[in-house]
Amino acid sequence: MNSTTPQVQAAPRKFAQLLSSTRRGARLARLLASEQFRAWEVSPAVTERGEQIVAELAANAALHGRVRGRDFRLVLRLDTTVGTLRIAVSDARGDQIPVLATAPLPGENAESGRGLLLAQDLRSWDAYRAASRRGRGSALSPARREQLWPAVELFESMLRDQKAATHLGICARAAELLTASSPTHDHVVVDEAQDLHPAQWRVLRGAVAPGSDDLFITGDPHQRIYDSRVSLGSLGISVTGRTHRLRVNYRSTEEILSWSTGILSPVTVEDLAGDGSDSLAGYRSLLHGRRPHVDGYGAEQAEVAALVERVEGWLSQGIRPSEIGVCTRFNVLLDKVYDKLSAAGVPVARVRDTPGPQAEGVRLSTMHAMKGLEFRCVAVLGVTARAVPFSREVTPASVDALQHESDLLRERCLLFVACTRAREALAVSWSGEPSPFVPR
Ligand SMILES: Nc1ncnc2c1ncn2[C@@H]1O[C@H](COP(=O)(O)OP(=O)(O)OP(=O)(O)O)[C@@H](O)[C@H]1O
């Protein structure tokens, strides 16, 4: 059996069909899936990927898992709780279970461990075989690398066939072109540096010649919400003796700041340059206000109802709707908030629709999209043990203990980012069991 899960937002549905283990059956699987995605109004981008996945898995079931007279099974499922489309193809050979990998495949976003290929700019089998994971994450054995390499080549050839490229692939190519040419810029200013991938750093490094005023970099390692661990020195960016730490916060009140700092206080965070640890010691605000409201509810409905009341309370104090931000881990809960606030006559606007500063409406956003924003009042909803950390985003400790810790830290930072968007008032809530990251 094979399965995979591209991301979408859709209502809960299931489709299951038995098909003959033949080329014709595999073709039919693709057509049926395509029809089903259309009926479910799945976005064209996800439909396209979904069709390819069904075609690949069904072809494998017909080719490698064939048993005369037995069908293979296609199951499509839209999961509303987290907004995923799950595709499962079970071949007819239930007696021959494939060997499961004990470690996850590398993703795109880290210097070592996940994303090794682009992070270290590895272009050939020889380079991949010799690459070091720099003591982070569990090492991949030569045998496992040998298994993985054909998948890398297959992926790249599929991209070539479709004349497509990944974002980081384009960065790698851009860096290559810049390295081969003269620098294109005199100065480069970088913000939110903590979330840049090594492939993106290489583009910036290539754009400007090393010098005293080459790169001006700002970032906060406590706000790292993507898996981008970087050693700037190894990318030719020297920061030693050139850094300045900003310790006064002019955005949030001391009450909001010290409560939010409690989210990160149990852990150590690697510094921006990737050569040591950073801390929030001495980080302070000159502003004062009320302590954050931190509340648990028995059910999500009650939590959303309380949010509506809280927003109405803020509005009655003369705060404009656009000065209020509401965020959640997932769009599913955000949709419910949207409906309830609208039903109560409160204007709303989604951050993903990039409303201009003049646009009316309480801003609704996922925690990820809150990065870099600020509001007079912020409500962070759905801070449950199930959502933060979100287990599907966390590598099991049994697979890779170091990656597990790193994934948990990223989820912790996400909550920190969401809470520190508030200037004057912060309300944090959940229903059922609270997130273990909520300070006690
Ligand atoms: N020296 C200052 N005096 C008064 N207000 C300031 C000062 N510096 C910044 N601010 C205010 O503090 C808030 C945060 O500033 P800014 O967005 O530059 O911070 P930041 O470090 O980029 O934050 P983050 O990385 O968390 O998004 C803004 O509302 C800004 O106007």
Structure tokens at 35: 């029809």
In this prediction, residue 82 carries a pLDDT of: 67
Cα of 373 vs centre of ligand 1, distance in Å, is 10
- pLDDT digits over 233-265, tens only? 888 898 888 889 999 999 999 999 999 999 999
Q: Kindly state the helix (H) or strand (E) to which residue 294 belongs, with its residue range.
A: strand 293-297
The residue written with tokens 């795109």 in the block is 108
ω into residue 292 within 30 of 0, thus cis? Answer: no
The size of the chain, in residues, is 440
Residue 372 CB less than 6 A away from ligand 1: yes
pLDDT of residue 170 exceeding 80, the answer is yes
Residue 374 CB less than 6 A away from ligand 1: yes
For residue 380, name the pLDDT band (cuts at 50, 70, 90).
very high
In this prediction, residue 103 carries a pLDDT of: 41
Which conformational region is residue 38 in: left (phi greater than 0), alpha (psi within -120 to 50 degrees), or beta? alpha
Q: How far apart are CA 213 and CA 237, in angstroms?
A: 12
Q: What is the ipTM, given to two decimal places?
A: 0.94
Higher-confidence residue of 255 and 22: namely 255
Distances from the Cα of 13 to the Cα of 54, 116, 433, angstroms = 17, 36, 27
Cα of 220 vs centre of ligand 1, distance in Å, is 13
Cα of 432 vs centre of ligand 1, distance in Å, is 35
**Among candidate residues 344, 349, 342, the one with its CA nearest the CA of residue 326:** 349
- Mean pLDDT across the chain, nearest whole number? 87
pLDDT of residue 134 exceeding 60, the answer is no
CA angle 221, 109, 236 (to 5 degrees): 65
- Nearest residue (by CA) to ligand 1, atom 5, is 250
Ligand 1 pocket test: pick from 217, 248, 251, 252 the residue with the most ligand atoms within 8 Å of its Cβ. 251
265 and 259 Cβ atoms separated by less than 8 Å: no
Atom of ligand 1 nearest to the CA of 371: 27
Higher-confidence residue of 54 and 125: namely 54
